[in-house]
A = this chain, B = another copy of it.
Amino acid sequence: MSAPDRAPIAGASGPLAILCGAGAFPLEVAHEARRGGRQPFLIGVVGATDAAIEAYPHVWVRMGEVGKLFAALKGRAIAEMVIIGAMARPEFADVRLDWGAVKRAAGLAQLFRRGDNGLLAGIAAIFEREGVRVLGAHEIAPRLLAPAGPLGARVASGEDETDIALGARLLEALSGFDAGQGAVVAGARVVAIEAAEGTDAMLARVAEMRAGGRLRFAGPAGVLVKAPKHGQDLRLDMPAIGPKTIEGAVRAQLRGVAVAAGQVLILERDRCAREADAAGLFVAGFARAGPPG
């Protein structure tokens, strides 16, 4: 279900809904969509989405207001949507189900019984069943994808390349599991593997291990490696890095950040490059053996 399996949407036009998670990234995607000739319509989730989305045509919904959401899409004849930002698995008690949700109850109930991949695939299936095609941010805003090669001024050394290759192999080995998308490799040794805690917490752990002497390296060491799982639906859960990732990598005293080229989103790319340069880190896209799927 990732991009290569789908008809290209280059040249697509018309309204595009953007279901917005937390942070500034939904606005970057809206900006790129508008640049590409689309009319973005932003959907904010109360308590999660930044109020800055109000710069665009928008509607606010609460978790569980599925009927209101579909009515907003149908009232504007919107047939395509992008879902941006990690969707936290809602606690059942936090959800306010409206009538539109109750009608779709069987599908929604399943969402609470699956891993992250299952949750997101279920959300996409619910939209597609109603005739709303779910696109990936990478399809709307390909300029936000990691390029091949360096983003800033620094480049990976030969030893860094060894660490990157080891991290990429590790992520391949983990790919069959609905677990993490990241690892830290230093001196040809796997020092941290991401699962439910997420990338930022993993980087904080590496910083702690260095401060506490559990990891001993003189000066910067190691690389954060990120890549999507095989079979991961990139429309829904594309790995992403941003200034927070760079900051975490600096605190962990890494030498750089390497992401699968074309398969990882970079939030605020210019700022990432600038801050990485200032700290002496490289940020680079690496070529993967094959596309996920």
Contacts and interface: CB of A to CB of B under 8 A. Distances in A.
Contacts of A116: 189
A180 interface: yes
Nearest to A175: B173
Contacts of A194: 193
A56 interface: no
A175 to B, nearest CB: 9
Q: How many copies does the complex hold?
A: 2
A178 B189 CA distance: 7
A155 interface: no
Contacts of A180: 190, 193
A177 B214 CA distance: 19
Question: How many A residues are at the interface, by size bracket?
Answer: 20 to 34
A197 B188 contact: no
A170 B198 CA distance: 18
A12 interface: no
Given A91-B216, A214-B197, A190 B178 contact: yes
A111 interface: no
Contacts of A195: 183-184, 190-193
Contact of A197 (B115, B176, B192, B213): B192
A183 B174 CA distance: 12
A197 B179 contact: no
A177 B170 contact: yes
Nearest to A196: B191
15 contacts: A91-B213, A91-B216, A115-B188, A170-B179, A174-B193, A180-B193, A183-B195, A189-B196, A190-B195, A192-B196, A193-B194, A196-B209, A196-B215, A197-B205, A197-B214
Given A169-B177, A173-B176, 6 more contacts: A170-B177, A173-B173, A179-B193, A184-B195, A190-B196, A191-B195
